[in-house]
Structure 1
Amino acid sequence: MGSLSNQDSATTHFQSLMEEVDGPLKSEYEIVHQGYPRETLVRFLKARDWNVARAHKMLIDSLKWRTQNDIKSILTRPIVPADLYRAVRDTQLVGLSGFTRLGRPVIAIGVGLSTYDKASVNYYVQSHIQMNEYRDRVVLPYATKKYGRYIGTCVKILDMTGLKLSALNQIKLLTTISTIDDLNYPEKTETYYIVNPPRIFSACWKVVNPLLQERTRRKIQVLHGCPTDELLKIMDYSSLPHFCRGESSPSSYDSDNVTSSDDCFSLDHNFHQQLYNYIKQQALLVDSPVVKQGSVHVTFPEPEPQEASIAQTIESEFHRLGDSKGGIMGMISSGLKVNGSWKSLF
């Protein structure tokens, strides 16, 4: 489906099919498209290589998943008490650091230092979906209004600092989160910037890169060394995540040079304060003055064959590198340091 005319025809056909949707699925569809149905259909078409039948099935399946799991109400379910939510934030490092000059939200993800070990799987999945929904229902509409044009995608900056063999323990959870995104929030990222990659990254990347779909591969940029100059081409300094701010940025997150309000992963950061307060306010509006404790349980979709293959490849590559003599385990046991901070693996 190469030409623009064919793509336009596919979108029109898809739109006519979605006009037949009614009942709960129609209500859910309105939440998903937020007043921009055609742009939403294009996202699902891109995810299915412009095949209308496959894109239609994908969207209908997604709407059913949302309905069955009451996703429309997930922004009324705060993770309480606050100490539990802080523990989630401290171990699931995700945040919004600002916007690009074109108005796209800048989502920072601490891949290497996220441990996912202070709460149950359901809390981490709940928190991830809540950030997705807040992005789509609040942040992107805000950006669209502010910049005077439709903005439906974000930029993600993935920090690889500190990735360890212990990350293997979280492969299942990360695959679950990735699958939820792939099947229900497709094509929401314009570009992925991978920053602070350890030395071992290139070995794993050579194995994983060929498995990625071409449209995904084109979105990924690996920035070695200090990524500041490259990122400043698309955003102001104030929108850079704290770990990308050149020499003024510490080499680890526990540095005294970074305050909680500067650290976009922290619950004390402005974005997370706004998000958490929004969810608590929505809970009071639709439920009762008493906020219920307990995680939201959603059904976990089965990963697609390609997604499962990538996860298995990453796991086997980690094991291979860890078992090799003089490899990663040798580096760790010998106490190797790079630039004064531990550089583990990916």
Structure 2
Amino acid sequence: MGIVSQEAIKQFQALMDQVDEEPLKRTFQNVHQGYLVETFGRFLKAREYNVVKAHKMLMDCLNWRVQNEIDNILAKPIIPTELYRGVRDSQLIGLSGYSREGMPVFAVGVGLSTFDKASVHYYVQSHIQINEYRDRAILPSASKKYGKPITTCVKVLDMTGLKLSALSQIKLLTIISTVDDLNYPEKTNAYYIVNAPYIFSACWKVVKPLLQERTRKKVQVLSGCGRDELLKIMDYASLPHFCKIEGSGSSRHSQNGTDNCFSLDHHFHQQLYNYIKQQSLINESVQPIKQGSFHVDLPEPAAEGTQIAETIESELNKFGNGNGVSDSLDGLKINGD
């Protein structure tokens, strides 16, 4: 049962038509951006096409958004700029370009993200801001440019450099994954894993059965930096910087700031940061800008997410302890949205 039926969409629409609270209606508009059918389809897919469960999931999402003022998060800059630069240097994610079908291509430096320059709330804030900017600015713009609904993205995950010391960050990564699973379901069309080290096959073997089937089908492990395979779905200019040179791996310092899509100097992050600053200035007369993180209720990880995190941790520890490998192992973490 992989296709959303028109009847399910009609039932979902009828349930949502009963929502009359203005805050919920307003935040729902920020979620669907005019693409109701696609939005209903995402939530139905996330709940195995059960209309009642999908409706509950969407209502829980809307209530979370209202209670945590998510609609205002794009007017809450992380200041000063150097603090945000620290976040960008340790939470490696960026927009490298677009696929030939118009989907945004997000690069994620899984292995080299250290999450050690700020508190957990700043990293969650930054992650949600990128999600919201993607959904409220990037995807609507792409839809207009390509003349069709574009409501999902592609992610290229670079596995270079995950160290055993990063195991302490699995809890944070699980929180971020849970935020995505519950509130931004089915926003990723495909995951492409590149620069996968020898340990990857062992981790993937034990993690893969724990993933839901729809997530497993999205994951493709590419050879080396994945350049040749990725060029089948995107132009060279849209390749993440770590995919452009075979064997180069990923490094936050390997490219200049304008080419390294992780860097605050990259045009995507400059546009995002300037957008947030402009939005904050619009609201400044109402509420002065204050330094400090935007606190969001951190969800309890679902049983599945906890099991995956524990399995990854156990497998990496097994390699570290059993094989005498030092603090330089590579491994895997997938955000299963």
Confirm or deny: 8 A CA contact 1:155 1:192 kept in the other structure: yes
Which residue identity lines up with residue 293 of structure 2 in the other structure? Answer: S
* Partner residue, 2:9: 11
| Residue of structure 2 in register with 1:302 after alignment | 300
Deviations 1:129-167 (A, max 9, x none): 000000000000010000010000000000000011112
**Residue pair 1:161, 1:343 contacting (<8 A) in 2 also:** no
**Aligned pair 1:315/2:309, yes or no?**
no
State the match for 1:280 in structure 2.
277
CA spacing shift, 1:331–1:34, aligned 2, 3 Å:
same
Structure 1 position 322, deviation (Å) = 1.6
Q: How does 1:76-95 map to 2 (within 5 A)?
A: 76-95=75-94
Q: Which runs of 5+ in 2 are unaligned?
A: 333-337
Q: Which residue of 2 aligns with 1:253?
A: 251
Offset at residue 37 of structure 1 (A) = 1.4
Under a length normalisation based on structure 2, what TM-score does the superposition of the two structures give? Answer: 0.94
Output the amino acid matched with 2:16.
Answer: M
Judge conservation of contact 1:332–1:344 (CA < 8 Å) in 2: no
> Which stretch of structure 1 is more off in the superposition, 22-31 or 60-69?
22-31
Q: What is the CA deviation profile of residues 289-338 of structure 1, one whole-angstrom value per residue up to 9, with x for unaligned ones?
A: 953211000001112221111111111212222221xx2xx3438xxxxx
* Partner in structure 1 of residue 218 of structure 2: 219
Determine if contact 2:155/2:192 at 8 Å carries over to the other structure: yes
Aligned pair partner of 1:264 in 241, 252, 261:
261
Instruction: Name the SS of the counterpart of 2:319 in structure 1.
Output: helix
Please state whether the residue corresponding to 2:5 is helix, strand or coil.
helix
1:221-275 deviation per Cα after TM superposition (whole angstroms, max 9, x unaligned): 011223110000000000000000034x7345255x5101110000000000000
Residue aligning to 1:130: 129
Closer, same or farther in 2 for the Cα pair 1:14/1:125, shift >3 Å?
same
C-alpha distance in 2, partners of 1:254/1:14?
A: 44
Q: 2:109–2:250: 8 Å Cα contact kept in structure 1?
A: no
For the residue of structure 1 that corresponds to 2:192, the secondary structure is strand
Structure-1-length-normalised TM-score: 0.92
CA distance in 1 between counterparts of 2:237 and 2:54 reads: 38
Contact 2:258 2:265 in 1 (8 A): yes
> 1:1-346 to 2 correspondence within 5 Å?
1=1, 4=3, 7-23=5-21, 24-247=23-246, 250-253=248-251, 258-288=255-285, 290-324=288-322, 327=323, 330-332=324-326, 344-346=330-332
Give, in whole Å, the separation in 1 of the partners of 2:223 and 2:13: 43
**How far apart in 2 are the matches of 1:143 and 1:59?**
24
Paired residue for 2:335?
A: none
Q: Is the contact between residue 106 and residue 156 of structure 2 (CA under 8 Å) also seen in structure 1?
A: yes
1:116–1:170 Cα contact (<8 Å) kept: yes
Letter in 2 for 1:272: H
What code does the residue aligned with 2:133 have? Y
Identity of aligned residues (%): 64
4+ runs deviating over 3 angstroms: 249-252, 342-346
Which 5+ residue runs of structure 1 have no aligned equivalent? Answer: 334-341
Q: How many residues align?
A: 330
Indicate if the aligned counterparts of 1:94 and 1:110 stay in contact, CA closer than 8 A.
yes
Is the radius of gyration larger for structure 1 or structure 2? 1
- Deviation by residue 1:67-90 (Cα, 9 ceiling, x = unmatched): 000000000000000000000000
Alpha carbons of structure 1 residues 68 and 39: separation in structure 2 relative to 1, 3 Å = same
SS of the aligned residue for 1:246 comes to: coil
Cα deviation, 1:2-60, whole Å, max 9, x if unaligned, reads 5x5x7221111011100111221111111110111121011000000100111011000
CA contact (8 A) 2:319 2:325 kept: no
Code of the residue aligned with 1:204 in structure 2: it is C
| 1:30–1:250 distance in 2 versus 1, CA, 3 Å | same
Point out the more displaced range, 140-149 or 23-32. 23-32
Contact 1:262 1:269 in 2 (8 A): yes
Q: Which amino acid aligns with 1:20?
A: Q
Amino acid at match of 1:215: R
Query: Tell me, what secondary structure is at the counterpart of 1:193?
Result: strand
Aligned partners of 2:106, 2:305: CA distance in 1, in Å?
22
CA contact (8 A) 1:250 1:258 kept: no
- CA RMSD, Structure 1 to Structure 2 (Å): 1.6
